Amino acid sequence: MATISDSGELLRYNGVARAFHAIIAVMVIFNLASGIGGDAIEDIWNPIPFHKSTGILILFLSIARIGWRLTWVMPEWPSAMGGLQRLVARITHLALYALMLVVPITGWIMSSAGKYPLTIYGLFDWPKLAVTKGSPLAEAAGEGHEVLGFLMAGLVVLHVAAALHHHFVIKDNVLRRML
């Protein structure tokens, strides 16, 4: 399959995939920003309750997205894309999918050990997992959430830079087919 069909039409990711990508991208970027910058704006607004609710939603949307992803084959990359570039793109996408699951799960475990209740935007309670404060699991989840959260921020920057590079420098269709 080529990026442009024989009739000249742009082959894009399917509509459901594009919708999942856009919604989850906005939510993940909000969570990275509120996680990393939350302390700086805490006096005006504490974003962490919102961060937790959005994170839980990201987890379940990502499970649905990955389930959907297993049912179709992506449109082929432009033929000019080299083998190394394809490998880096594949590894980055796989890592982002993994982090979309593992980062919210570590957050859920860590927050289950905390004293604050878990809710979804204050609308209803969200169950806490059976984790005790100070237990090795709670400690590991806290460490993991921080380290993997920062790794995710780095990969997202790389990913967005690559998309913009395709669009503005290489001038191919890689960005347009995901919009």
What is the binding site for ligand HEM (CB under 6 A)? Answer: 21, 24-25, 28-29, 31-32, 35-36, 48, 51-52, 55-56, 58, 69, 74, 89, 93, 96-97, 100, 103-104, 107-108, 111, 118, 145-146, 149-150, 152, 156, 159-160, 163, 174-175, 178
CB of 52 to ligand HEM, least distance (A): 4
CB of 49 to ligand HEM, least distance (A): 9
Cβ atoms within 10 Å of 18's Cβ, excluding its own: 14
CB of 61 to ligand HEM, least distance (A): 10
> Across-strand partners of 124?
120
- Closest CB to ligand HEM among 115 and 136? 115
- Closest CB to ligand HEM among 104 and 138? 104
Nearest to 144 by CA among 156, 155, 136: 136
- Closest CB to ligand HEM among 114 and 136? 114
User: In angstroms, rounded to a whole number, what is the distance separating the alpha carbons of residues 78 and 7?
Assistant: 16
CB of 6 to ligand HEM, least distance (A): 20
CB of 145 to ligand HEM, least distance (A): 6
The three-class DSSP label of residue 171 is coil
Per-residue exposure over 90-120, b if at least 16 CB sit within 10 Å of its own CB, e if not: eeeeebbeebbebbbbbbbbbbbbeeeebee
The three-class DSSP label of residue 4 is strand
- Closest CB to ligand HEM among 7 and 73? 73
Which value, to the nearest 10 degrees, does the dihedral of the CA atoms of residues 127, 114, 27, 101 take? -70
- Closest CB to ligand HEM among 8 and 65? 65
- Closest CB to ligand HEM among 97 and 170? 97
Give me the DSSP letters along 81-138: S-HHHHHHHHHHHHHHHHHHHHHHHHHHHHHHTSSSPPEETTTEE-PPPS--TTSHHH
CB of 151 to ligand HEM, least distance (A): 9
